Structure 1
Amino acid sequence: MSNSAGTGGLAKRAATSGFSWWGRELGTYAVIYMAILGLVAFTLFVSALQGVDFVPFLERYAQSAVSGCVLVGSMLLIAVCVKALVYDRSGSPLRAVVASLSAIVRSDMLWRYLFACAWLILMLAAFLYNKMMIPEVAPFSWDPTFARWDQVLFLGHSPWEVLHPMLGYPMITATLDLLYGLWGPMMFMFWAGAFASPRVPALLRARLWMSMILSWIVIGLVMATLLSSAGPCYFGDVVPGMTSPYAGLMQYLAEARSEPPLLAVIAQEYLWQGHIGNHDMPGGISAMPSMHNAQAVLFAAFAYRLDRRFGHAMTVFALLIFIGSIHLGWHYAVDGIVGAGAALAIWWICGAFAPKMFPNAFSAARPVNP
C-alpha cells in the first residue's frame, strides 16, 4: 500500500469532528453491537442465576487489552521513528517524530481504538464465561477419538512425535511459547486496530468483526460443546485407564525451562486447577476446535485484503500458532485443521453478506477526524 494512505488520512481532516462518529457507527453497524449485547445479556442472566460474579471475567480481558495497547503503541512508535529517520528532510528526526505522534493524539484514532477495545472486552468476557460451562453441559469425551485421528493423519504417530526432532530444543520451544502468548494481545490489535486505522475500509472491518464474533459463538461455543475435548495436555486426566500418548511431551515441556516455567505450562496448570474447583478465577478448557488457530487464520485472511506482504507475514504467524498448539500440548492437530477450516468458511460467508447487511458502510478508507 502507498504511504499516502496513512499520512494522507492524518493530513486531510474530515469535515466532521469530535465524537460524531459514535452515533454513526452504532447506527450503521447496529447488528454487530446488538449481537454482542445479546450475548452479554444472556451471560449476565445465567451468571446471576448461578450466583457467579461476572466482573473478574471483564478484568481478565481488560488485562489483555492493556497488553494489546502496549504492543500496538510499541509498533507504532517504532514505525514513526523509522519513518522519521528514513524520510524526514527537515534535518530534525526528533521533531518529525513528535509531530507525527501529536497528529495521532489529536486525531480520533486513539478514541476509536479504546472504543473497540471496550466492546471486545465485553464480548470475550461473555465468551469465556460460557466456555467455562462447556464441560458441565458436555463432559470431555472426544479426546481418544481425536488422538486416533491424529495418528491416522500422521501415519501411526502422534503429531508431536513427528515435530519433536525439529522442535524439541528449549530455545525453539520458548520462542513458540512466546509467540503463542502473543495471540491474546494480537487479537485486540486486529479487532481494535481495524476500527482505528484510516487504512482499513469500513466494510472490511465489519467483515472482520462479524467473522470474529461468529467464530467465537459457532466455533468456540457451539462446535466446542458438540465436540467437547480437553486436549493433549490433559489426556491422562480425562481419559482414565489409558496410557497418555502425550506423557513424553508433557515431561519435556516441564523440563524444557523450569525457572521460570513456560507460559504454556503455567497456563495449563492454572486452567486445570480451576476445572477441578481449586480456584474460581476465569479460565475454561476446550480443545476442539482450536480458537487460537481459527482466529490466526482470520488475521491472515484480513491481512491479505490489505497488503499481500502483510498477508504472507500473518500466514507465517498462523502456521507457527498451529505448530505451537501441537508442540506445547494444547491441541490435537485435527483441532487446528477443523478450526482453520471453519474460520475460512465463516470469513467467506461474512464476505458475501456484509455488503448486503451494511449498504451504508464506507467503501473507501476513512479519514481521521481531528
Structure 2
Amino acid sequence: MSRTASLRTAVERHFGWAWAAGIAMAVATVVLSAINELPIKDPDALIPGYIRFPLIILTAIALDVVPRVVWRSRRAPREFGRHWRAVLDERWRLQHWLFAVGGLSAWYLCYTAFRNLKSMVPYVNSAVWDDEFARIDRVLWFDHDPSQVMHDLFGTGIAAHFFSAVYFIWIALVPVSIAIALVFSRRTQAGSWFVTAVAFDWALGALFYLLLPTLGPVYHEGQRQLFTALPETYNTLLANQLWDDRVAMLADRDAGLQTIAAFPSLHVGIMMTICVFLEYVRARRWVRVTSWVFFVLTVIATMYLGWHFFVDVLGGMALGSFTVWAAAMATGNRFGLVPRLADEPEETPAREQQAAVCD
C-alpha cells in the first residue's frame, strides 16, 4: 500500500473527517466569538466538561464490561478477576481504546462547538425568517397550519404528554447511539461512518442556523396562541426556559447559552441519519422498524409542540439523508458513489466481529 493510500485509509477509519468538521466549527466559534465579543462557554455548565467527558467514556465502558464479567462469574464468583481480565482482553485491546476515545473526542468537540455557534446566532445574524416559513407552510398545507392540523387530529390532552415524552427521549438518543457505535459494537467501519455523519449534521445544521435564523412556531407571534391550549408538560417548561435563556443572553452576553434555532430541524435530521444509516448497514429488522416508527413520531412531535415549521422538517430530512451519503464517501464506506459498508480492517480479531450490532 502506498503512503498516500495508507494516509487516506487512516483518515477514513479514525474519524479524520469528523475531526475536520469539529475543528472547522471550533475555528468558526473562535472567530465569531472575537468579532462579536461573545464568550465561549461550556454547553453543560452544571458538570464541567473535563469531568463529564471522562465519565461518559468510563460509564459506557463499564456498561460494556461489567455485565459480561458478572454473567461469566455467576457460577464461580472467585473467578471474577480472571473473567475481568479476559473480557478486557477480548473487548478492550489498545486498538479499540484508540478507536472509541478518538470517536468520542471528535463527537464532543463537534457538540461543544455546535452549541456555542447556535447560541451566537442572534448576534451574528439578526434576521428572523419565521413569517416567511409560516407562509410557505400554509401554502404546502393548503392554507392550513400544520400545528393546528396536528392538534385537531390528535387532540390537546394526553397526546401533548405523549409527544412531550417523545421529544425528551430523543435528547438521550444521540449519546446512546454514539455509545452503541463506538463502545458496544465492534464494527469500526460502521462506527466511523455514523459518528462522521452526526458530525456533518451538526456542522451543516450550525451553518444553516447562521444563514437562515428562525425561532419556530411556539415563539412566532402569529402562531404562539395555538399552543396555549396544550396542557402543561415538561415540554412547556422547557420552551419557557429556553425563551428566558435567550432573553437573558440578549441582555447580557456573559449569560448562559441560548439554544433557539429552528431551520433545519436537527431532531428530524439526526433521526433521519440514524434510520438511513441503519438501512445501509442492514441492521436487524426490528431495529430498523423501531427507528422509522420513532422517526415518524419525532416529525409529528416537532410540529405538534411547535418547535418546528414543516419546512424545518423537510430541511431536516434532506440534511440527514445527505450527511449519511457524504459520510459514506468520506469514510470509505462506498462502492463508487453508492454507500456500502466496507469490510473490517484485517487486524480486527474474528471473535470481535461476532459482537457486532449489524447482521
- TM class, shorter-length: 0.7 to 0.9
**Which residue matches 1:314?**
291
Identity over aligned pairs, percent: 19
Cα distance per residue 1:57-85 (max 9 Å; x no partner): 3647959979977997999799979x97x
Would the alpha carbon gap of residues 113 and 282 (structure 1) be closer, same or farther in structure 2, given more than 3 Å must change?
farther
How far apart are 1:168 and its partner, in Å?
3.3
Structure 2, gaps ≥5 residues long: 1-9, 335-340, 354-359
Would the alpha carbon gap of residues 294 and 68 (structure 1) be closer, same or farther in structure 2, given more than 3 Å must change?
farther
1:273 aligns with 2:273: no
Structure 1, gaps ≥5 residues long: 1-23, 237-243
Cα distance per residue 1:132-188 (max 9 Å; x no partner): 222333223321121122222222211111111343344332232222123233212
Match of 2:217 among 220, 227, 232: 232
Distance, in Å, in 2 between the alignment partners of 1:182 and 1:77 is 25
**Which residue matches 1:247?**
225
**Which residue matches 1:223?**
208
1:147 aligns with 2:134: yes
Distance, in Å, in 2 between the alignment partners of 1:163 and 1:129 is 32
Would the alpha carbon gap of residues 55 and 225 (structure 1) be closer, same or farther in structure 2, given more than 3 Å must change?
closer
Distance, in Å, in 1 between the alignment partners of 2:206 and 2:66 is 38
Distance, in Å, in 2 between the alignment partners of 1:129 and 1:315 is 30
**Secondary structure at the counterpart of residue 157 of structure 1:** coil
- Greater relative contact order (CA < 8 Å, ≥ 6 in sequence): 1
**Which residue matches 1:341?**
318
Match of 1:162 among 135, 149, 152: 149
Q: Which amino acid aligns with 1:117?
A: L
**Which residue matches 1:256?**
232
**Secondary structure at the counterpart of residue 140 of structure 1:** coil
**Which residue matches 2:25?**
39
Distance, in Å, in 2 between the alignment partners of 1:138 and 1:193 is 37
Q: Which amino acid aligns with 1:207?
A: W
1:323 aligns with 2:300: yes
**Secondary structure at the counterpart of residue 229 of structure 2:** helix
Q: Which amino acid aligns with 1:342?
A: L
Match of 2:262 among 287, 293, 298: 287
Cα distance per residue 1:5-40 (max 9 Å; x no partner): xxxxxxxxxxxxxxxxxxx78984434323323432
Instruction: Give aligned pairs, total.
Output: 327
**Secondary structure at the counterpart of residue 276 of structure 1:** helix
Would the alpha carbon gap of residues 363 and 261 (structure 1) be closer, same or farther in structure 2, given more than 3 Å must change?
closer
**Which residue matches 2:177?**
190
Distance, in Å, in 2 between the alignment partners of 1:245 and 1:315 is 29
Would the alpha carbon gap of residues 342 and 272 (structure 1) be closer, same or farther in structure 2, given more than 3 Å must change?
same
**Which residue matches 2:6?**
none
Match of 1:135 among 122, 126, 129: 122
- TM-score, normalization: structure 1? 0.71
Q: Which amino acid aligns with 1:205?
A: G
Q: C-alpha root-mean-square deviation of aligned residues, in Å?
A: 4.2
Match of 1:213 among 181, 188, 199: 199
Q: Is the 8 A contact 1:203 1:362 kept in 2?
A: yes
How far apart are 1:282 and its partner, in Å?
1.6
Q: Is the 8 A contact 1:159 1:326 kept in 2?
A: yes
**Which residue matches 1:121?**
108
Would the alpha carbon gap of residues 183 and 100 (structure 1) be closer, same or farther in structure 2, given more than 3 Å must change?
farther
- TM-score, normalization: structure 2? 0.73
Q: Which amino acid aligns with 1:176?
A: F
Q: Which amino acid aligns with 1:277?
A: A
Q: Is the 8 A contact 1:230 1:286 kept in 2?
A: yes
Distance, in Å, in 1 between the alignment partners of 2:174 and 2:110 is 12
